[in-house]
Amino acid sequence: MVPASDFLTHNQAAWQQLCTFVDFAAERLTLGFVSVNFAPDRQIILQALHDRFEHSDVQVVALDFSDPQLQFFQDALVRQLALVQRQEGRKLVLLITGLEQSIGMMGDYPPLLRDLNFVRDAFGDRVPHPLVLFLPDQALTRVARFAPDFWAWELGVFKFATLPSRVTESYQFTLESDRIREGLDLQERRQRLDLLQRLLMEYDQKSESVADRKARASIYNELGILYRDLGEVDKAEDAFRHGLRLTSSTETDLLQVRAEILHKWAISKADTGEIDAAIDLYQQSLELKEQIGDIKGKAATLHQLAILKANQGDIPGAIDLYQQSLEIEEQIGNIQGKAATLHNMAILKANQGDIPGAIDLYQQSLEIKEQIGNIKGKAATLHQLAILKANQGDIPGAIDLYQQSLELQEQIGNIQGKAATLHQLAILKANQGDIPGAIDLYQQSLELKEQIGNIQGKAATLHQLASLKANQGDIPGAIDLYQQSLEIEEQIGNIQGKAATLHELGRLKADQGDIPGAIDLFQQSLEITEQIGDIQVKAATLWWLGDLIAQQGNVETGIAYLEESVAICDHLKSPHAPGVRAVLERVRRLRTP
């Protein structure tokens, strides 16, 4: 905690200049800016101004405008001004805070500043009082850049420097924090995001020193991860790009950060279904890690590449990459990484139908996680074992494992993991026919996902709720939920999820008898699955399309689609292969002799 007296003493000149401005500003629109990067320091200044002028002829009133969606500042200010209780005989000075939330720290022309320039001339009549705007450096720069007409009215900029102890405190709270990101709720994520942006401004943006560039790049990397988790994909990519620009040289320290940024950006690309772009970024990360001898990092990237290979249906390729990762982890004694790789290899075994092999690998992973006290990892493996138990028909056993996983996630505050487990428990309830119980669990999961800002997870749960509504015969309700899911998937660029939702909407249209509408939705889904290489959903979509198109009289095209679906199902060893073959044989009989 930074003492207020230390901060004000450190900024004595700026403090005296600010007090003079407040004291002598004319009773009309007069504009001053306070440059202060951290919210606690801003609070020190606000409190000091209140104390300084409490018994004077100046009435200072602080007004907060921290709504990130704010576009019309002048209108909002006039509304708040009407609520201020004026004190007769005292000059009113307005202290404005929070505008950095809508101005932003990076990115395109902010709507608020565009409007501010446009309505500038009306400001003096509507707000005839001195204003002091408290903003961090980067937001202040954006005002000068994007609202030059408004900025031209400034009569003073009072720069308050941050004490080194505040920077250290903020660094420890963000980049060096041991609190898991998944355990942060939406407000805490926003707070960490805000703190990182302010921390970034404490570094000289023109400095070419390796230490400064490394620190700034690390902050941009963390910003990218947080933006990705919040579904703000464009901002995430912007942050990752900034980080890469800072690390485009040959110093080992910078190359290490660069490799990490490429790895994290690849995860973001994979999340939005841009598999080829993700693979390219992983490959770049892998090359850098080999160059600098980061074999632990190499194992992590091989692990992620294996996940993508598996999602593309290349199971042998995925297993080979996992084996390479496993060898490195055993070589360097990274038992935590080994546990994670065994966990994912178990998933592949399960997908191939080798349930005993999968259980054996999960058990090995579980033993390691218990040995090293990795509660989060243990919860994840119990979660996966529960899925296997459910697939084997042992529903009570599955529920018991999910409950164990849930207890661990609550113990460590892993809200994201808890939401995922509630989601899976809901699936079991639905499969048991307990639809109200399933809906209740989905709703709990949905609330947690909204709480932490996990909109990708929210889309998945809305998708499942839609499926339940459809099974209950509430087709309009199901379509509404699928549409909500689709809007989120389009918003965050999750084209893989979009393809799955379009597929389900196509099924509903077909069930309603709207065959042309169904075909159109399936075609949209097919285009996406071909684009991203999601052959599992592609096979299912070809199955439906083949059948529907044949019903419309285009038998040969229908057969071609069904034959392609059969080939994919055979390649994947899918249990759906016999069903597709049966439809194919039925459609072949429709051929004109």
Q: What is the CATH number of the domain that holds 90?
A: 3.40.50.300
Cβ atoms of 329 and 299 within 8 Å: the answer is yes
CB 496 within 8 A of CB 530: no
Write the CB contacts of 573 (distance below 8 Å, at least 6 apart in sequence): 352, 353
User: Can you tell me the distance from the alpha carbon of 340 to that of 309, in angstroms, rounded to the nearest whole number?
Assistant: 17
Provide the pLDDT for residue 12.
Answer: 93
pLDDT at 375: 86
**Per-residue confidence band for 183, with pLDDT thresholds at 50, 70 and 90:** low
Structural domain ending residue among the three candidates 100, 132, 162: 162
Which residues are CB-neighbours of 46 under 8 A, at least 6 positions away? Answer: 62, 95, 97, 134
- Residue 93 is assigned to a structural domain of this protein: yes
In a domain, 373, yes or no: no
Residue type for position 401 = L
Q: Kindly report, residue by residue over 307-340, the tens digit of the pLDDT.
A: 888 877 788 888 899 899 989 988 888 888 888 8
**Burial (CB count within 10 angstroms: exposed 0-12, middle 13-18, buried 19+), residue 582:** exposed
Helices of type H across 293-334: 295-311, 315-332
Distance CA 585, CA 583 (A): 5
Residue 239 inside a domain? The answer is no
pLDDT tens string 476-533: 999 999 999 999 888 887 888 888 899 999 999 988 889 999 999 999 998 988 888 7
Residue 11 lies in a domain: yes
Cα–Cα distance, 414 to 392 (Å, whole number): 28
Degrees to nearest 5, angle at CA 183 with 179 and 186: 115
pLDDT per residue over 380-404, tens digit each? 889 989 988 887 888 889 999 999 9
- 372 assigned to some structural domain: no
- C-alpha torsion 533→537→542→543, nearest 10: 150
Domains of the chain: total: 2
- pLDDT of 127 > 80? The answer is yes
The CATH number that applies at residue 533 is 1.25.40
Task: State the residue range of the domain holding 79.
Answer: 4-162
User: Position 130: which residue type?
Assistant: P
CB 132 within 8 A of CB 93: yes
**Among 104, 130, 162, which residue terminates a domain?**
162
358-384 pLDDT tens trace = 889 889 988 988 888 888 888 888 998
Instruction: Confirm if 267 and 281 have CB atoms less than 8 A apart.
Output: no
Residue 14 lies in a domain: yes
| Residue 255 belongs to some domain of the structure | no
Please work out, in degrees rounded to the nearest 5, the angle formed at the alpha carbon of residue 290 by the alpha carbons of 286 and 294: 95
Strand partners, 157: 33
pTM above 0.75, yes or no: no
Share of the chain above pLDDT 70, in %: 96
Residue 359, in any domain of the structure: no
Tell me the two tokens of residue 533: 């290489």
Domain boundary among 96, 130, 162: 162
- pLDDT at position 472 over 90: no
